[in-house]
Amino acid sequence: MRFLDRLQPLALLALRVTLGVIMLAHGSIKVHRHMHEFASYIATLGLPLWLGYASAFTEFVGGILLITGTFTRLAAFLVFLNMCVAIGKVHWQHGLLGAGGYEFALALCTMAFVLIFYGAGPISIDAIRGGGGGNRKGSTSR
Q: Where are the domains of the chain?
A: 12-129
- pLDDT for 134 equals 54
> Distance (Å, rounded) from C-alpha 111 to C-alpha 49?
27
- pLDDT for 140 equals 43
pTM of the model: 0.86
- pLDDT for 141 equals 44
Find out whether 126 and 84 touch, Cβ atoms under 8 Å.
Answer: no
> Distance (Å, rounded) from C-alpha 31 to C-alpha 51?
13
Q: Point out the residues of the chain with pLDDT beneath 50.
A: 136-142
> Distance (Å, rounded) from C-alpha 4 to C-alpha 134?
17
Residue 96 burial class via C-beta count within 10 angstroms: exposed 0-12, middle 13-18, buried 19 and up? exposed
> Distance (Å, rounded) from C-alpha 141 to C-alpha 12?
13
